[in-house]
Chains A and B, each alone.
Chain A
Amino acid sequence: MHDDSRSLPDHPASVRAPWRDIRQVSVARSIGLMGMGAVLGLGLAGYALFTARGTSTLAVPAEDVALVNQQPISRSDYLLQLQALYAVDLQHSTREEREKVLNDMIREELFVQRGKELDVASNDSEVRSAMVNAVELEIAADALTTQPTEAQLKAFYTAHQGNYASEGIMTVHDYVFPKSAAEQAADAVHGLKSGTPTADLLAHWGAKDSPSVGDEEFYFAAKLHLGDRLFDVARGLTDGASSMPIEMPDGIHVLYMVKNKPPVPYDFAAARDQVLNDYRNKAIAHLSAGDEAFLRKRANVLIAKDLQ
């Protein structure tokens, strides 16, 4: 043990309690500091214990309106429900409206908790479907919070440039001749060089102007109306051009193109909105596949021998 009295200097400025002199060993100071450390430690531990997520508590956190078996009912959900049910905000709601919404939400939470206890998901297909859907949406929501950079979008656009073009537009006439009128159809091809034929000329050829086309329409609609084979011919025609006679089961067709505006590839600026959507959809699909792979990897799946 160190003798405190021997180290005391003679001059008056140094005359002070031993526990205050850092150069001297002091039992009182050691115990005091230890006590303060213990109190501080207990304080911090208590704070962490009673504020950590998942900790059982008697106080309702400020962001919640209730705790049901420690499961929070969030204030934002409560306000949303109030708005959905009564179309009012908190300020303009009545006490009865607030109570009704809160009671409904507590009831819902109690039943959800009971549903978990009963494991309703194991035998209720609707619950199973809702849970699968909810997890998929959760994955998608995670993917959507990540905003791709312009460089990433441009790279995606470059890799899928063929997908980004305007919708083609055409105005085409489809003249249908009887199968026996091959000569008239050949004549019509020449006659059409001077423009769309009159009704009299059509009657002279014995042809009919198909009512399914003739108006200006998008490529997809023209394809639907003409059928794949005729559409493939039509899309290659320039303005004012007519096709050679095309034999089809319902007769001989001659196409006359009034106006053909093929799809125009979009530059990045014009396509950006679509590129962003496609990029996000791909990111969601990628994340979803990754999550499924992870779930499968960590799961213990046993398959019956006859199905292996």
Chain B
Amino acid sequence: MRIAILLIALIGIAGAIEVQREHQIALLLRADPDSIPANPSLMKFALGRGASGYRSHCAACHGDDGHGDAARGIPNLADGDWLYGSGEVSDIERVVDYGIRSANPKAWNLAIMPAYAKIHPSRTEPKIAPLKPGEIRDVIEFLLYLQKQHADPAAVARGAAVFSDTGGCYDCHGADAQGDGAIGAPNLTDRITLYGDGSAAALFDSIAHGRQGICPAWVGKISPAGVREIALYVYTLSQRPGAARPPSSAASSHTETSAARGARG
């Protein structure tokens, strides 16, 4: 009889734990995602599970520490610099849910870096024309100038013209080349690069061959609570002490840590 009572007690405790877990999940899902970081109990509940979800679904590319890999164009999630959105939990959650160029209709898929060394640089924008090698080098000089690096003034002038005219670069990156988080167009003035080390050769490669990295969509494959937990975990990666903050202007880019270079989250 004691065994039966013990069994019932265990089932009762397990039931109570499950009810409490379901309650916490409901609270987590019903909360405004951007307000959750201010709620310690929900954060405590979500982070352990989020870390586990991150390791299962994201770490294969972004690495266990979230630092990515600039050689493979895998963004650093821990540097506080965000290509899509502004790094709020809701922005991250959207990426985890729908991905980037993931073939999901709700994915971020507006911006594709054209391959200017191809006869048809962009499949979606037929008006974009190829550039000559010299024009690409001029644009790079212009970008180096924007990043306060040494550049040839004559080439900078020619590059600026290509940037804001024939190349059509301004269309995504903005007339000030500071990018647009609404479409995932990177800031070109801050020396933080997603691909490579930011050298002229790496920039040439990106402009000549284009870029269109992919992040898969996990909606339907991970539960809504699981997605939110991962988003919260990734959010905390960028909030840790030592995570480089995005520069507010081109001038401040010189103060960035080397850890932030070569990657973009």
Q: Is B6 part of the contact surface with A, judged by Cβ < 8 Å?
A: no
Q: B8: which A residues are within 8 A, CB to CB?
A: 36, 40
Interface residues of A in 255-308 (CB under 8 A from B): 269-270, 272-274, 277, 280, 284
- A224 to B130 CA separation, bound complex (whole angstroms): 12
Nearest CB on A from B118, distance (A) = 7
Q: Is B190 an interface residue (CB 8 A)?
A: no
Given the interface contacts A29-B1, A40-B11, A147-B61, does A167 sit within 8 Å of B117 by beta carbon? Answer: yes
Interface size on B, residues (CB 8 A): 54
Contact status A79-B133, CB under 8 Å:
no
Please indicate the chain B residues that have their CB under 8 angstroms from the CB of A216 in the complex: 132-134
For the complex, give the distance between the alpha carbons of A272 and B8 in Å.
58
Residue in contact with B72 in the complex, picked from A22, A80, A91, A273, CB distance below 8 Å: A273
Neighbouring B residues of A20 by C-beta, 8 Å:
1
B118/A75 in contact, CB under 8 A: no
Residues 188-223 of chain B: 1 if any A CB is under 8 Å from the residue's CB, otherwise 0? Answer: 000000010000000001001101111011110101
Chain B CB within 10 A, most for which of A63, A80, A220: A63
Chain B positions 120 through 148: 1 when the CB is less than 8 Å from some CB of chain A, otherwise 0: 00000000001011100000000000000
Shortest Cβ distance from A43 into chain B, in angstroms?
A: 8
B218 touches A145 (CB 8 A): yes
Per the CB 8 Å criterion, the residue count for chain A at the interface is 45
- Which residues in B have their C-beta under 8 angstroms from that of A29? 1
Check if A76 sits within 8 Å of B104, measured CB to CB. Answer: no
**Knowing A216-B132, A224-B119 touch, does A141 contact B216 (C-beta < 8 A)?**
yes
CA distance A20 to B1 in the complex (A): 6
Pairwise interchain contact B209-A274, C-beta atoms closer than 8 A: yes
- Chain A 155-174 residues near chain B, CB threshold 8 A: 166-167, 169
Residues of A within 8 A of B32 (CB): 89-91
Which residues of B sit under 8 angstroms from A217, Cβ to Cβ? 132-133
Across the interface, B90 reaches (CB within 8 A) one of A33, A40, A79, A280, namely A79
CB-based nearest A residue for B29: A62
Interfacial chain B residues near A22, Cβ < 8 Å: 1
B contact residues around A215 at 8 Å (CB) = 132, 134
* Minimal Cβ-Cβ distance residue in A for B3: A22
Shortest beta-carbon distance from B39 to chain A in Å? 12
Interface centre among A76, A218, A280 (most CB of B within 10 A): A76
Of B94-102, B154-162, B247-255, the one with at least 4 CB within 8 A of chain A: B94-102
Once the chains are docked, how many angstroms separate the CA of A269 from the CA of B224? 36
Known: A141-B102, A280-B214. A218 touches B93 (CB 8 A): no
B73 at the interface (CB under 8 A from A): yes
Do residues B221 and A79 form an inter-chain contact, with CB atoms below 8 A?
no
CB atoms of B224 and A63 under 8 A apart: yes
A298 to B251, CA, bound (A): 63
**Contacts A36-B8, A75-B29 known; A167 to B208 CB distance under 8 Å?**
yes
- Contact of B34 with A91 in the complex, beta carbons under 8 Å: yes
**Which of A19, A145, A167, A221 is in CB contact (< 8 Å) with B216?**
A145
B96-118 Cβ-contact flags toward A at 8 Å (1 or 0)? 01010011111000000000011
Closest Cβ of chain B to A162, distance in Å, is 16
Distance from A245 Cβ to chain B, minimum over Cβ atoms (Å): 28
Nearest A residue to B96, CB-CB: A76
B 6-37 binary contact with A (CB < 8 Å = 1; else 0)? 00100100000000000001111110111100
- Residues in A whose Cβ lies below 8 Å from that of B117: 167, 218, 220
A62 touching B195 in the complex, CB below 8 Å, given contacts A33-B4, A79-B33, A147-B61: no
Contact B105 A134 (CB under 8 A): yes
Residues 70-107 of B, flagged 1 when their CB comes within 8 A of A and 0 if not, give 01110000000000000010100110010100111110
The answer to whether B88 and A89 touch across the interface, beta carbons within 8 angstroms, is yes
The answer on a CB contact under 8 Å between A137 and B29 is: no
Q: Is B259 an interface residue (CB 8 A)?
A: no
Bound-state Cα–Cα, A40 to B14, Å: 13
A80 touches B94 (CB 8 A): yes
Q: Is the CB of B217 within 8 A of A145?
A: yes
Q: Which partner residue on chain B sits nearest A166 by CB separation?
A: B208
Q: Which of A124-168 contact B (CB under 8 A)?
A: 134, 137-138, 140-141, 144-145, 147, 166-167
Q: How far is the CA of A74 from the CA of B217 in the complex (A)?
A: 16
Task: Give Cα A216–Cα B131 distance, bound, in whole angstroms.
Answer: 11
Contact of B103 among A36, A90, A144, A224 (CB under 8 A): A144
Q: Select one of B25, B94, B214 contacting A144, CB under 8 A.
A: B214
Find out whether the CB atom of B99 lies under 8 angstroms from the CB atom of A144.
yes
User: In the complex, A116→B217 CA distance in Å?
Assistant: 26
The 8 Å CB contact of B224, one of A19, A74, A167, A277, is A74
| A-B CB contact pairs (8 Å), 7 listed | A83-B90, A89-B90, A90-B34, A147-B61, A147-B216, A218-B130, A280-B214
- List 4 tightest A-B contacts by C-beta distance, closest first: A63-B224, A140-B103, A62-B26, A62-B29
20 additional contacts, CB 8 Å, given A74-B224, A137-B105, A141-B217? A19-B1, A62-B28, A62-B29, A76-B224, A79-B33, A79-B90, A89-B34, A141-B99, A141-B102, A141-B103, A144-B99, A145-B102, A147-B61, A215-B132, A215-B134, A216-B133, A218-B133, A269-B71, A272-B72, A273-B211
